[in-house]
């Protein structure tokens, strides 16, 4: 039952709960605060809403587009929250009309969509995300950005901007209770099939460390494409949310290599937060918000291949006690700066949910 004291809330997004950004930026918040929405519209309800997925499910896409246009004809009232986009086929007109039908409109984004001009071609070139993001940032009553770089960009266009990082619930992650190295040592990486290519950035350092220590690389992903020379030291594990929440505690070092680029600077550093929640010592590229997170963690921030080798070997050669201290610092930093508990009051206030309507209130 929706508490009578809470204004109505309508949420639109391109993905269902299997989609990482929708899960982290919307579903987990609703679950954490224990709040129902008046309507929830995850387009196809799947983990992706890219052209290939739409072409595989044309009837579902037609229903989604029809439902959106029916909603637009009525005054939704209350608050409309659009995470990224309501329709991947819209140039922004659909979202704009949803905002116009609401008493209050929010636009939430967690990637550098403003620089995605459809360079990949195909349908993305016909409906690029950049002009839509710029339009919605301008039209929303408030913009919710996942990091300060995105917030700074949005502030050029938006009426009001608040920065709320992508968060984790540390209590859902199994934390490492010992930091003695495995034999052979286990390096780990969590991510999507699309971002596996970033591992190629540190292929040479990883192979060097393997020759020195025997370390192997665990890849938790839905992908299965070849990683070239790394295939010889890779152990693949199919991704699931449950596995992501416990498997990192069984590794020795977590990895997050990222290239220096505009789009990458807009990322939210989520892998690092999962490693930190697991008390897993991490090594990552100091790109965008990663630099902030790694500094809070007290973890290495290598840039060159030689620095990656040095950082990995230093952690592998460190004492168990030192790796334990790093893990404890990481977990504390996550709890205080990147958890749903830390940011819960802010998110509830931004969305317009009174405290009495959230889980854990006195009512």
Q: What are phi and psi of 127, to 5 degrees?
A: -130, 70
CA nearest to 296, candidates 332, 262, 271: 332
The DSSP element (H or E) to which 254 belongs, if any, is strand 253-256
pLDDT in tens, the chain (363 residues): 334 455 689 999 999 999 999 999 999 999 999 988 999 999 999 999 988 899 999 999 999 999 999 988 877 789 999 999 999 999 999 999 999 999 999 999 999 899 888 766 666 667 788 999 999 999 999 999 999 999 999 999 999 999 999 999 999 999 999 999 999 999 999 998 889 999 999 999 999 999 999 999 999 998 899 999 999 999 999 999 899 999 999 999 999 999 998 888 888 899 999 999 999 999 999 999 999 999 999 999 999 999 999 999 999 999 999 999 999 999 999 999 999 999 999 999 999 987 656 675 544
pTM of this prediction? Answer: 0.91
Q: Which residues contact 5 (CB under 8 A, 6 or more apart)?
A: 354, 356, 357
Verify that 147 and 46 share a domain, yes or no: yes
3-state secondary structure 190-224: ECCHHHHHHHHHHHHHHHHHHHHHCCEEEEEECCC
Domain that holds residue 40: 9-167+340-357
Verify that 56 and 157 share a domain, yes or no: yes
Q: Please indicate, yes or no, if residue 95 is contained in any of the structural domains.
A: yes
The DSSP element (H or E) to which 347 belongs, if any, is helix 340-351
Helical axes 305-317 vs 203-213, angle rounded to 10° = 30
Q: Please indicate, yes or no, if residue 248 is contained in any of the structural domains.
A: yes
| pLDDT for 52 | 87
Q: Please indicate, yes or no, if residue 220 is contained in any of the structural domains.
A: yes
Q: Please indicate, yes or no, if residue 4 is contained in any of the structural domains.
A: no
Verify that 283 and 142 share a domain, yes or no: no
CA nearest to 107, candidates 351, 343, 345, 348: 351
| pLDDT for 3 | 42
| pLDDT for 261 | 87
Question: What are the CB-based long-range contacts (under 8 Å, 24+) for 288-295?
Answer: 288/147, 288/149, 288/258, 288/264, 289/147, 289/148, 289/149, 289/165, 290/256, 290/258, 292/148, 293/269, 293/333, 293/338
For position 124, which CATH number holds?
3.40.50
Verify that 163 and 135 share a domain, yes or no: yes
Verify that 98 and 200 share a domain, yes or no: no
Total of domains in the chain: 2
Is there a contact between 94 and 55 (Cβ–Cβ < 8 Å)? no
Is there a contact between 299 and 270 (Cβ–Cβ < 8 Å)? no
For position 244, which CATH number holds?
3.40.50.2000
| pLDDT for 117 | 81
Verify that 178 and 95 share a domain, yes or no: no
Is there a contact between 88 and 43 (Cβ–Cβ < 8 Å)? yes
231: tokens are 């295939």
Verify that 56 and 174 share a domain, yes or no: no
Q: Please indicate, yes or no, if residue 91 is contained in any of the structural domains.
A: yes
Verify that 282 and 145 share a domain, yes or no: no
Is there a contact between 23 and 340 (Cβ–Cβ < 8 Å)? no
Coil, strand, or helix at residue 320? helix
Q: Please indicate, yes or no, if residue 1 is contained in any of the structural domains.
A: no
Verify that 351 and 326 share a domain, yes or no: no
CA 10 to chain centre: 21
| pLDDT for 128 | 84
**DSSP line for 94-122:** HHHHHHHHSSEEEEEE-S-GGG---TT-T
Verify that 110 and 153 share a domain, yes or no: yes
Find tokens 């590794």 and name the residue: 251
| pLDDT for 121 | 60
Verify that 182 and 327 share a domain, yes or no: yes
Q: Please indicate, yes or no, if residue 199 is contained in any of the structural domains.
A: yes
Verify that 22 and 159 share a domain, yes or no: yes
Q: Please indicate, yes or no, if residue 18 is contained in any of the structural domains.
A: yes
């Amino acid at each position: 039952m929706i508490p009578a004291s809470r204004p109505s809330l309508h949420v639109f997004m391109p993905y269902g709960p299997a989609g990482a950004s929708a899960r982290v930026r919307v579903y987990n918040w609703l679950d954490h605060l224990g709040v129902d929405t008046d309507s929830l519209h995850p387009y196809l309800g799947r983990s992706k809403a890219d052209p290939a997925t739409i072409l595989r499910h044309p009837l579902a896409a037609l229903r989604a587009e029809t439902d959106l246009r029916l909603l637009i004809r009525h005054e939704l009232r209350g608050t409309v929250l659009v995470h990224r986009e309501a329709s991947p086929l819209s140039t922004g007109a659909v979202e704009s009309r949803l905002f116009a039908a609401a008493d209050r409109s929010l636009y939430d984004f967690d990637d550098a969509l403003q620089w995605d001009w459809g360079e990949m071609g195909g349908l993305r070139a016909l409906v690029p995300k950049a002009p839509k993001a710029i339009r919605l940032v301008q039209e929303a009553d408030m913009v919710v950005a996942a990091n300060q770089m995105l917030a700074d960009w949005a502030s050029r266009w938006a009426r009001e901007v608040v920065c709320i990082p992508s968060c984790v619930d540390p209590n859902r992650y199994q934390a490492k209770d010992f930091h003695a190295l495995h034999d052979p040592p286990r390096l780990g990486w969590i991510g999507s099939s699309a971002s596996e290519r970033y591992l190629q950035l540190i292929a040479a350092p990883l192979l060097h460390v393997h020759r020195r220590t025997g370390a192997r690389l665990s890849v938790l992903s839905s992908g299965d494409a070849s990683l070239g020379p790394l295939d010889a030291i890779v152990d693949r594990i199919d991704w699931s949310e449950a596995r992501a929440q416990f498997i990192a505690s069984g590794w020795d070092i977590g990895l997050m290599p990222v290239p220096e680029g505009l789009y990458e600077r807009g990322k939210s550093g989520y892998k690092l937060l999962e490693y930190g929640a697991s008390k897993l010592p991490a090594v990552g590229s100091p790109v965008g918000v990663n630099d902030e997170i790694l500094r809070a963690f007290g973890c290495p921030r290598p840039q060159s291949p030689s620095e990656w080798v040095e950082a990995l070997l230093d952690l592998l050669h460190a004492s168990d006690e030192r790796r334990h201290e790093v893990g404890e610092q990481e977990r504390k930093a996550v709890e205080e700066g990147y958890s749903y508990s830390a940011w819960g009051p802010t998110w509830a206030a931004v969305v317009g949910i009174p405290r009495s309507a959230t889980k854990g209130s006195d009512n």
